[in-house]
A and B are shown apart, each in its own frame.
Chain A
Amino acid sequence: MLGMEGEILKGHLDMIVLATLSAGPAHGYAVIEEIRRRSGGAFDLPEGTVYPVLHRLEQAGLLSSRWVTADSGRRRRVYGVTKRGDKALAERREVWEEFSKAIGALLGGTGSCNAPA
């Protein structure tokens, strides 16, 4: 069962997965490891949560995928960001920056939301 932090994280999984794959194509396991590594272990979702996101983003045309044969001989699906995915990520980054700035201002008590004198 996911806690509140997990639920918040789930709401941003599309952006997290797109951002992770923007560095280059990777298979599901590598995506999960990279998310864990780049978040310093803070983002530790059940691994099965990421695969439906990969499939959904592919259906939306934001990712493309193909089968490759790994050194181990196993076939694996490798995902990469499409041009549409790059554009979507840039848009989401912009929205996120505005949102986090607004939340920061609210929580920090700075910015333009102070009570009138």
Chain B
Amino acid sequence: MQRPGLIDEYVGRLARKLDFDRSLRWRVCREVEDHLREAAATNGTGDVAAANFGDPDAVAAQFAVISLAKRSRTTSSASIVGIAAIFVAMKGRVAWYAMATETAGGASKSVAGSLGSIDRYTFGSLSSQA
């Protein structure tokens, strides 16, 4: 005899454990619920289906590892893109100052020269750190 709400109870427990990632929680819970309902329809009981699926804490822990790896990759990619953008922007500024010192005269020339030196120094420090 199938206890009412047993599958909902299992999915609810899994959902609480997957609270750290909302999109993952939604997708996993839908998939697991479908699986348990099909297994219960085949085997006749929700508790057998839930027992065969395994401990929800252990299942959630496996998804936590996957989610963490995905976030690490996303963060790494974003950092690389960010650093590359800063380098390109600084290179552009250095080139712009070089052009400005050639075309401008007097005070603007010395200001552009000083700013260019600051950028070159900062760019050099960042390059050596990277």
**A residues within 8 Å of B by Cβ?**
27-29, 46-49, 51-52, 55-56, 59, 70, 72, 74-77
Contact = CB atoms under 8 A, between A and B. Distances in A.
Interface of B: 27-28, 30-32, 34-35, 37-39, 52-56, 58-59, 62-63, 65-66, 69-70
A65 to B, nearest CB: 9
A52 B59 contact: yes
Interface of B is mostly: helix
A47 B39 CA distance: 10
Given A48-B32, A51-B28, A76-B34, 17 more contacts: A29-B34, A46-B58, A47-B53, A47-B54, A48-B58, A51-B35, A52-B59, A52-B62, A52-B63, A52-B66, A55-B63, A55-B66, A56-B66, A59-B66, A72-B38, A74-B38, A77-B34
Nearest to B27: A77
A77 B26 CA distance: 12
Given A46-B52, A51-B32, A77-B31, A29 B38 contact: yes
A48 B34 contact: no
Contacts of A76: 31, 34
Contacts of A59: 66, 69-70
A27 B32 CA distance: 11
A77 B66 contact: no
Nearest to A58: B66
Contacts of A28: 31, 35
